[in-house]
Amino acid sequence: MTATTDGSPGSPTPRTPSASTSEPDPVPAGAEAAAQRAVQRAADHLLARQHPDGWWKGDLETNVTMDAEDLLLREFLGIRDERTTAASARWIRSQQREDGAWPTFHGGPGDVSATVEAYVALRLAGDAPDEAHMALAAKWSRAEGGVAASRVFTRIWLALFGWWSWDDLPELPPEIIYLPKWMPLNIYSFGCWARQTIVPLTIVGAHRPVRPAPFGIDELHVNPDTPNPKQRKAPVTTWDGIFQRLDQVLHAYHRVRPRTVRRAAMNACARWIIERQEADGCWGGIQPPAVYSVMALHLLGYGLDHPVVKAGLDSLDRFAVWPEDGIRMIEACQSPVWDTCLATIALADAGLAADHPALVKAADWMLSEQITRPGDWAVQRPQLAPGGWAFEFHNDNYPDTDDTAEVVLALRRVAHPDQARLDSSVDRAVRWNVGMQSRNGAWGAFDADNTSPFPNRLPFADFGEVIDPPSADVTAHVVEMMAALGLENDPHTRRGIDWLLAEQEDNGAWFGRWGVNYIYGTGSVVPALTAAGLTGDHPAIRRAVTWLESVQNTDGGWGEDLRSYSDPEWAGRGHSTASQTAWALMALLSAGRRDSEAVARGVRWLTETQLDDGSWDEPYFTGTGFPRDFSINYHLYRMVFPLTALGRYVRDEPFGTAHHTPAHHGEAAAHHGETSTAATGKGA
């Protein structure tokens, strides 16, 4: 069935090419001419956005819980100021839906946790409960179950101010820091983002602090007289029942815990936290662990002027974006490495000369960001030499295989004046990425074999995905990297291909873990498989093409709503967006479908919706933090992916053949010596 969509922006007014790129050759009439003009305008726009140091970074928009929790932290620490509060409140108000709720993504349904947190933040900002927007929010919240229906993390924030009882929250003791890595529920069985959050939260939960709030929130409870209803227990024969009873045991332990053991455990947690503070004062380059780490250390007696805490608070200020005067938005993290490698690929694939100064400068910056010391990943791979890249400016503890693969793909597109330096960097990266392959032949993002089923069962862990299992999109990017280096027949690559073919959905798509969703997964896997030698006639490629063509919107674009993570009826369905249209086009082009009607319509949609400045408008969220729970609008996606897709269309260059490096890079993977079955024919 062909998906439907609402209208799209009208055709832009053509503009004269800027002086930042050379005058184009005469172009043919019609669609090709429009595509070439769109490519040049997009390239001009992207080049103009490059930082003088060589990197790119777009805003990373999430939801108002980031802004609310920032204000709540400042209130808890006694450092909330009027300017910050007023500017954050303006942003929070601007995101409220007409029904009074706040969503977690643009155009999405209201979310009770986001609404409760936004409401209390606005109360801190001085909004009265009888104001129309506040009364509407409270009414909506009560209709959805009120505070009792919100997630654990929301109720932790409420407990900090006496709006919820600590006794009615799941327990996770700081003694978890002592569990060896072979035991279930040790901190390294959690994904890196979860462990960075959980370790400081165990300190907060052990202290159970309360800073009495200046107001109550009875209006958010369904029954203010009994705001904390007891959860009905699942049968003891179920996993949920077992973990609910384990939580009871942990609550009992909290009452009788030996003080010396508890004190030692909290100190061990504090050392763990401080050891992982980055050079810029942050933790993992992401906002939530920084918030909880500052709070935990403060509860342990670290003053606000202590260098560790002060650096942490300074880092939180750098997450603030002021999109316009008087409005303040908090980013959950920043994505300069990811944005820079994608921008480099886009410009190179659009035809920018490989030795163009912008690309060389970008390569220099990326080379300087390579991580050459071990991080938490080494717990599972202690003998593996470092060599990856992280997502953010400063995050040496947590490089990821996805960024590393894309950086390598970007570097191989640049004619760098110091080729030996670039080759050495690529060799280290390939060795590290190959060494991070999980036992099943695929790749997770931050850790190898981070697949324990137990962390997701904890009552405490309802804030999103807490483990980092291999995913199709990450595995595809690593496979594409290997193929670009001439390693498509390496045993590691073949095992990755085998896994990808086995993971294809019945409808022909692939699940997208870090992007929305099946369009992202399919748009990642198909180019990787074709780069690795599978042809457009391979059954898996044919099924993927058929699915993509079946979900193309009537306006010619592609789109997919985040609700596809919970409801398969949304798979491949949603408003057309520039990034998702580009992902579909990249897959179809790599499958040899350049001259198809679907590609022509997709290209036409991109050229007709391009804005006068060369960019695209994209309010819809197409990035994923946690499927179903945390969504992202990468503001640079609307630029880099359409430029990549249109560039490949205009150049009409067989994908995956232009950027192979000399064969000596095979040494970086071949020494592992693993074998696998060949992928040919599998998944048919």
Confidence tier at 61 by pLDDT (50, 70, 90): very high
Residue whose pair of structure tokens reads 């030499």 in the numeric block: 385
Task: Please tell me the predicted confidence (pLDDT) of residue 22.
Answer: 38
What are the residues facing 60 on neighbouring strands? 634
- DSSP strand E in 3-154: where? 60-61
- Would residue 585 count as lying in a domain? yes
Task: Please tell me the predicted confidence (pLDDT) of residue 642.
Answer: 98
Percent share of the chain, pLDDT over 70: 89
SS3 630: strand
Confidence tier at 93 by pLDDT (50, 70, 90): very high
Phi-psi region of 326 (alpha: psi -120 to 50; beta: other; left: phi over 0): left
Stretch 211-236: mean pLDDT: 81
How many CA atoms within 13 Å lie on the side-chain side of 440? Answer: 17
Q: Are 253 and 370 members of one domain?
A: no
How far is 342 from 38, CA to CA, in rounded Å? 18
Stretch 55-68: mean pLDDT: 96
Query: Has 339 been annotated as catalytic?
Result: no
- Would residue 122 count as lying in a domain? yes
- Would residue 315 count as lying in a domain? yes
Of the residues 299, 330, 361, the one at which a domain ends: 330
The region of weakest confidence among 294-298, 386-390, 454-458, 527-531 is: 454-458
Q: Are 505 and 521 members of one domain?
A: yes
CATH number at residue 103: 1.50.10.20
Confidence tier at 251 by pLDDT (50, 70, 90): confident
Stretch 412-440: mean pLDDT: 97
Amino acid identity at 86: A
Q: Are 324 and 351 members of one domain?
A: no
Helix axes 152-159, 65-77, angle to 10 degrees: 20
SS3 138: helix
Stretch 625-654: mean pLDDT: 92
Confidence tier at 31 by pLDDT (50, 70, 90): confident
Stretch 164-180: mean pLDDT: 93
- Cβ neighbours for 669, distance < 8 A, ≥ 6 positions apart: 430, 431, 434, 482, 487, 490, 492, 493
The region of weakest confidence among 107-111, 173-177, 181-185, 663-667 is: 663-667
* Cβ atoms < 10 Å from Cβ of 250: 20
How far is 457 from 461, CA to CA, in rounded Å? 7
Q: Are 307 and 426 members of one domain?
A: no
Distances (CA, A) of 467 to 50, 349, 454: 34, 34, 9
Q: Are 158 and 282 members of one domain?
A: yes
Q: How far apart are the first and last CA of the chain?
A: 23
Helix axes 112-124, 152-159, angle to 10 degrees: 20
Q: Are 574 and 491 members of one domain?
A: yes
Q: Are 100 and 175 members of one domain?
A: yes
Residue 20 has pLDDT above 80, yes or no: no
Closest-CA residue to 374 (of 405, 401, 396, 400): 396
User: 81-91: per-residue pLDDT in tens?
Assistant: 999 999 999 99
Confidence tier at 230 by pLDDT (50, 70, 90): low
- Would residue 684 count as lying in a domain? no
- Would residue 375 count as lying in a domain? yes
Q: Are 312 and 366 members of one domain?
A: no
Structure tokens at 49: 């956005």
Distances (CA, A) of 681 to 286, 296, 568, 684: 42, 54, 27, 6
User: Which is the catalytic residue, given 402, 403, 447, 498?
Assistant: 402
**CB 189, CB 179: distance < 8 Å:** no
Stretch 39-56: mean pLDDT: 97
Closest-CA residue to 521 (of 504, 502, 543): 504
Domain carrying residue 74 = 61-330
Residue 677 CA, chain-centre distance (Å), reads 32
**CB 185, CB 243: distance < 8 Å:** no
Closest-CA residue to 400 (of 320, 497, 470): 470
Alpha helices in 466-509 (DSSP H): 472-484, 491-503
The region of weakest confidence among 5-19, 27-41, 505-519 is: 5-19
Q: Are 570 and 626 members of one domain?
A: yes
Task: Please tell me the predicted confidence (pLDDT) of residue 653.
Answer: 67
Task: Please tell me the predicted confidence (pLDDT) of residue 252.
Answer: 82
Confidence tier at 426 by pLDDT (50, 70, 90): very high
Q: Are 431 and 501 members of one domain?
A: yes
How far is 665 from 409, CA to CA, in rounded Å? 13
SS3 299: helix
Confidence tier at 652 by pLDDT (50, 70, 90): confident
Measured at the CA of 455, the angle between CA 449 and CA 460, to 5 degrees, comes to 155
Q: Are 586 and 463 members of one domain?
A: yes
Closest-CA residue to 517 (of 470, 481, 467, 567): 567
Q: Are 299 and 386 members of one domain?
A: no
- Would residue 598 count as lying in a domain? yes
Element (H, E) at 362: helix 357-368
Of the residues 330, 362, 394, the one at which a domain ends: 330
The count of domains in the chain is: 2
- Would residue 321 count as lying in a domain? yes
Of the residues 330, 360, 378, the one at which a domain ends: 330
Mean pLDDT for the chain? Answer: 89
Residue 655 has pLDDT above 90, yes or no: no
How far is 520 from 559, CA to CA, in rounded Å? 10
Task: Please tell me the predicted confidence (pLDDT) of residue 662.
Answer: 38
The 60-61 sheet, strands edge to edge: 60-61, 630-634, 623-626
pTM for this entry? 0.90
User: 326-363: per-residue pLDDT in tens?
Assistant: 999 999 999 999 999 999 999 999 999 999 999 999 99
